[in-house]
Structure formats: structure tokens, C-alpha cells
Amino acid sequence: MSIWGKVIGGIAGFSIGGPLGAILGVMAGNIFDKKSIKNFNYKNISNEQKQSIFAFSIIVLSAKLAKSDGTVTKDEINAFKEKFKIPKDNINKVSRLFNEAKKSTYGYEKIAQQISYIFSDNKIILEELLNNLFYIAEADGNISKEEVLFLKNISNIFGFNDVTFERIYQYRLTNVNSDPFKTLGVKRSDSNETIRKAWLQIIKEHHPDNLISKGMPKEFIDQANKELSSVNNAYDKIKKLRNIK
């Protein structure tokens, strides 16, 4: 079963208990209720449950993002359905959850705060969440000011600084338009060795095997591979600029 089939169980929770109810409802047997969130320990849940939470978070925040500039375009909806490889037999139910999140009055800030808490010891997964939200925002060929503000607020809630936000933003740009130093989160004045270590660290942290072990569903690996490609291209550009062999 795909991750989308597994995450559908959260629909009932979303309908009756808000986003938090849905996130907890995704977990096996609804063993966590709303009151237990204060004692919630992310380390105690299975990798499969982590993947369900990741997928659910993408659905809800993507819906809120699509609504942030006042217009939900077909490109954004189609990008969500096609790029995340949602099977035909799951599309209607996932779309229902997407639409419920889109029209809900529950603010995205509260959702992001809950997600940030659940993944508080797993910043790499939060980075991938933000990276995939950028992916949705650019689906119609243009990221609006409202969408940038939305994404920056999400980044702040997740606890990322401006350097990290800019690094994730640079992944979206073409190799020609991107700044290789910002892509690696380094300064132009940094030494060659410092830059190399930054490159290696990103490659290690965002390697597909590592991401899956931390709770990212395999359905999102293609996007992670594009990210790694941008990182490698950035390092190659810096090596050429500095004549590093």
C-alpha cells in the first residue's frame, strides 16, 4: 500500500478534531488522544507512523499554501496529485482531505507549530517538508509574494534561520540563476575546506537512505534527489570559481 492509502485514516480526525486530531488519528489505533500531546514522544512511534505524519503534513500545509494568495490554481492541484505519485484509487480520498484543509478556518501557523513539535528532534525532515512546499508553490510557474511570506513564516515556526531558508529557496532555482554559496549555506569568504565540509554534510543528511530512515516516505525521494543535484552543481560551480581540483 502506498503512503497515501495509509494516511487516509486521518480524514475523520481532521473533520471532528482539527489538524491535531488528524495527525494523531493517522497513528496506529488512535492510541494518542488530544490530551496526551503534552507527553508525546516522537521517538516512541514507528517509522511507518512517521511517514504517515510526513505525508499528512504535506497535504494540509499544501492546501493552506495554495489558498494563501487567494487563488487555488489547477496547476497547483495537479502538481500535488501527479508529482507526489498518488495512485488513482487514492486520489478522491486524498483530494477530500486536501479540500477539507483548504476550507478550514484553522490557521496554518497552528498546524506548523504542531508539526514542528512532533518533529522537534528531526530538523532534516522539517527541511524536506519546507522543500516540498516550495515545490508546490512553484507549480504554476510563479511563487507569489503571499506564498513567499507563507513559506518564510513556516520556516520561522520550524526554527530555521535566514541562511537555512535561503539555502532551501536556492534549490528551486536553475543552475544558472542560483547562488552556489547560498545553496550550500556558506559565506564567500569561507575557506575551501569549510565549504567542502558543508557540502559533505548536506549530502550525508539528505541522502535518500538517511531520509527514509528518519521517516520520509519513498514517494518523496524524487524531489530529494533533485535537491542533491542542486547541491552537487553548486559545489562544482564553486570549485570552478576557485580552481579547486
Are 64 and 80 in contact by the 8 Å Cβ rule? The answer is no
| 2's grid cell | 502506498
**What is the per-residue pLDDT across 198-242, written as a single tens digit (0 to 9) for each?**
999 999 999 989 998 888 888 888 778 888 999 999 999 999 999
- As a whole number, mean pLDDT of residues 194-198 equals 96
- As a whole number, mean pLDDT of residues 37-51 equals 65
Are 239 and 199 in contact by the 8 Å Cβ rule? The answer is no
Burial bucket for residue 192 (CB in 10 Å: 0-12, 13-18, 19+): exposed
Q: What's the CA gap between 218 and 148, in Å, rounded?
A: 27
The predicted pLDDT at position 203 comes to 94
Mean of the per-residue pLDDT values for the chain? 80
**What is the per-residue pLDDT across 122-168, written as a single tens digit (0 to 9) for each?**
899 999 999 889 888 887 677 888 889 999 999 999 999 999 999 99
> Residue holding cell 516550495?
134
Q: What's the CA gap between 193 and 182, in Å, rounded?
A: 16
pLDDT at residue 12 tops 90: no
Torsion of CA 19, 20, 22, 26, to 10 degrees: 140
- Helical packing angle, 123-137 and 145-157, nearest 10°: 170
Are 76 and 86 in contact by the 8 Å Cβ rule? The answer is no
- As a whole number, mean pLDDT of residues 80-93 equals 75
Picking from 186, 175, 232, 180, the residue whose alpha carbon sits closest to that of residue 206 is 232
* Model confidence band, residue 196 (pLDDT cutoffs 50, 70, 90): very high
